[in-house]
Structure 1
Amino acid sequence: MTESPKPLGVTTTPIPGFLRLDLTVHGDNRGWFKENWQREKMVALGLPDFAPVQNNISFNDEVGVTRGIHAEPWDKFVSVATGKVFGAWVDLREGPSFGTVYTTVIDPSVAVFVPKGVGNAYQTLEPGTAYTYLVNDHWSPDARYTFLNLADETAAVPWPIPLERAILSDKDRSHPRVAEVTPFPAAAHTGRRVLVTGANGQLGRELMRQLPEAGFTVTGVDLPDVDIADATQMAAIDWSRYDVVVNAAAWTAVDASETGEGRPATWRANATGPSVLARIASEHGLTLVHISSEYVFDGTIEPHTEDEPPSPLGVYGQSKAGGDAAVTAVPRHYLVRTSWVVGDGRNFAKTMVGLAARGVRPSVVADQTGRLTFTTDLVAGIIHLLTSGADYGTYNISGEGPLVSWYDVATRVYELVGHSADEVTAVTTSEYYAGQAGIAPRPLKSALDLSRIAATGFTPANSMERLDAYVRSLTQG
């Protein structure tokens, strides 16, 4: 071994996402030593934090053993333990880089990172060669592979040992030429395969509408078919089919959460379910997007920043804080905190339109302040986080614009539908709920600080302008 080992380094190649690594090998008269896999150092140099779960070793007795070209549905970190191999890789993913070829020789001082969908082939150059590879999914007989013939004329791999003299399997000899290859699906290697939980709710429906428009492949699930708090049921899902989980499932009946029956149901949906998803996302290297609420705060500070410690007043807020704590342990997570959500379903604005139409003169609380969040903006913000490369962590997303009270929203709705604001009476929260039992405490100040999401390049629409358009859509449609 060299007396002056080369430093650890990561370099890019013509194949997008495919990386070549120089490994530091220390040698003396006894032999050599290297750090074959060092997550912290390698990630700092640009290697994806791909969370390997399985280590495989291929031993080859003779020179000229040739395997490939196989594209698997998982990422691989490949290095040599003994001997030397010629490696050839062909991008078999659909897209503009399809067919791009890269070759290099791998000895103990070289490793490569191979993204899913890139075809691998290796030819041994020394006897007794063993190469090892880390993968970030467990091998499955049902996994989908894409193959290319080793002798494909278009790829024209310059094999050091001609294939007619190499040692090949019959299967590898029979793989198709490039013209007959079905490319590895783009959605399977771009992080765009999404599972949406709570897909039938007002936020879930908007996610199911916007995500496909943004180029994501989306699957939606909800109760009673899928219960995210059922660990056994969740473990049975084939998670290799997904890159992202957006958890829009939640128990949102705030007052019912305070009852004997509602308390465990609330914790099951809002804390146990997210904790199950958090464990799965960590194990499978998934990105977890989880929707939280300003109810994790007591409402004494305004606006709420992402770094404010939780201080929930009631069971609903406590359960959401519990779920948040589990989600923040996931390496790849976006915890999205929002407030006063309005979407396709039951919501405050629609209720006010109905009351006005029936001639009802409601009393509405005027001491709870915040901003409305329309699901169109909330989902747009989630998509922005997933596509912009924003740092993982917690982000507030609500509507922009002035701070308002529920009373302000109600009077605006009444005016928009041709009624007088005087038909709405302002009351305090304590006055509104006076004499009612089983009422959950509400935070009085709900506005969220939006500077962190704005710093990533996303600014939601003005919530009151959104309200105007929404009410017009209800009355004109």
Structure 2
Amino acid sequence: MKKIMITGASGLLGRALFNTFSDHFEVIGTAFSRASEPLVPLNLTDFRALEDFLITHKPHYLIHAAAERRPEVCLENPELTQQLNVSLPAALANLCHQHQVELFFISSDYVFDGTSPPYAETAQPAPLNDYGISKYQAEQAVLAYPQHNVVRIPVLYGAVEKIDESALTITWQQLIQSNAPKMDNWAVRYPTHVDDIAKTLKAIITQLDKSERGGVFHISDTTPYTKFQLACALADAFGYDKSQITAMDSPVGQAARPQNCQLSDNRLAKKGILYQRDAIKGLIEAVRPFVKQPEV
């Protein structure tokens, strides 16, 4: 049985990856602050411990899903961002090359500036914020090794453990905590379920020959939404008065963001690898456990 290592396996995407790969692979999931069985505690920034871990467990593949993903945090903590989002992936790429491990580095649609979507895998990145810059720098380090893979993904949602674990599920919290919530109606996003990302990655590894892998892959759903549109859909689903929601038609947030960085998954489309779903229905189901039911 092939062995796969997943970093950040306690996170939203990491959990989906762990569950999806467990039926056909021996999966080693690592985490740091939230490491509990069956996950293994590992400080990824201790590069010597990281190499020892690779030597001991000898995975065939490694999916690196651990990162700092919050643009404002990246803006405020440049040293932490450099360590987690750039130095660590660069070290992993080198270590995986030395120990013959195929690396899948999870990157972001935020490597693009959002001015000329959709973006093919060959499009030239031009990030706008510190988060996007860090991801692009890491991509360059990973792609220095032709056998490694960069996987760009958009904003994610799924079965969250906390309502604020996803930039989309937190929308419900923002609705109920404000009398007059304001929602971004400027940035166009392509919400993608973490289970579909995991299924796609599994298909890449199991269905594509090694000669067909390496380089950049895009994985994304294709239906556009603004956060305002998603907030209105949640309001309708759970009995919130959506007339109270204000649409913000200009950029929101301290860190600069692209308006529309749609990813075109040309490589996977040619291979017939496509997993998608209705984002509204999926988001409603992700939020439902956190909606207080009316007393009878």
TM-score by length of 1: 0.55
- Paired residue for 2:37? none
262, 268, 271: which one pairs with 1:447? Answer: 262
- Paired residue for 2:72? 255
Mapped to 2, the partners of 1:207 and 1:268 lie a distance apart of 24
Mapped to 1, the partners of 2:230 and 2:119 lie a distance apart of 21
Mapped to 2, the partners of 1:347 and 1:312 lie a distance apart of 21
Preserved contact between residue 192 and residue 276 of structure 2 (Cα < 8 Å) = no
- Paired residue for 1:410? 231
Preserved contact between residue 194 and residue 217 of structure 1 (Cα < 8 Å) = yes
Stretch moving more, 446-455 or 195-204 = 446-455
State whether structure 2 residue 8 is matched by structure 1 residue 198: yes
Mapped to 1, the partners of 2:265 and 2:180 lie a distance apart of 34
Give the helix-richer structure, 1 or 2. Answer: 2
Report the alpha carbon displacement of residue 473 of structure 1 after superposing the two structures with TM.
5.5
Preserved contact between residue 258 and residue 440 of structure 1 (Cα < 8 Å) = yes
- Paired residue for 1:211? 21
- Paired residue for 2:98? 283
> Counterparts in 2 of 1:91-102, with a 5 A limit?
none
SS at match of 1:237: helix
> Counterparts in 2 of 1:251-400, with a 5 A limit?
251-259=68-76, 262-343=77-158, 344-345=160-161, 346-358=165-177, 360-389=179-208, 391-392=212-213, 393-400=215-222
Amino acid at match of 2:240: H
SS at match of 2:53: coil
Q: Looking at CA atoms only, which structure, 1 or 2, has the larger radius of gyration?
A: 1
Report the alpha carbon displacement of residue 228 of structure 1 after superposing the two structures with TM.
2.8
- Paired residue for 1:466? 282
Preserved contact between residue 291 and residue 337 of structure 1 (Cα < 8 Å) = yes
Aligned CA RMSD, in angstroms, stands at 2.1
- Paired residue for 1:229? 45
Higher relative contact order (CA 8 A, sep 6+): 2
Mapped to 1, the partners of 2:270 and 2:114 lie a distance apart of 25
Report the alpha carbon displacement of residue 377 of structure 1 after superposing the two structures with TM.
0.7
Residues 300-331 of structure 1: CA deviation (Å, up to 9, x unaligned): 12112111111111211111111111111223
Mapped to 2, the partners of 1:383 and 1:233 lie a distance apart of 27
Give the strand-richer structure, 1 or 2. Answer: 1
Identity percentage of aligned residues: 25
Preserved contact between residue 183 and residue 247 of structure 2 (Cα < 8 Å) = yes
Check 1:358–1:441 CA distance in 2 against 1; reply closer, same or farther (3 A cut): closer
Preserved contact between residue 248 and residue 290 of structure 1 (Cα < 8 Å) = yes
State whether structure 2 residue 58 is matched by structure 1 residue 241: yes
Amino acid at match of 2:27: V
Check 1:459–1:427 CA distance in 2 against 1; reply closer, same or farther (3 A cut): same
TM-score by length of 2: 0.86
Check 1:427–1:451 CA distance in 2 against 1; reply closer, same or farther (3 A cut): same
Report the alpha carbon displacement of residue 196 of structure 1 after superposing the two structures with TM.
0.8
Mapped to 2, the partners of 1:253 and 1:380 lie a distance apart of 25
Preserved contact between residue 341 and residue 372 of structure 1 (Cα < 8 Å) = yes
Preserved contact between residue 230 and residue 273 of structure 1 (Cα < 8 Å) = no
Mapped to 2, the partners of 1:370 and 1:319 lie a distance apart of 20
SS at match of 1:255: helix
SS at match of 1:292: strand
Preserved contact between residue 247 and residue 291 of structure 1 (Cα < 8 Å) = yes
- Paired residue for 1:425? 246
Query: What is the aligned length?
Result: 277
Mapped to 2, the partners of 1:263 and 1:293 lie a distance apart of 18
Amino acid at match of 2:200: G
SS at match of 1:370: coil
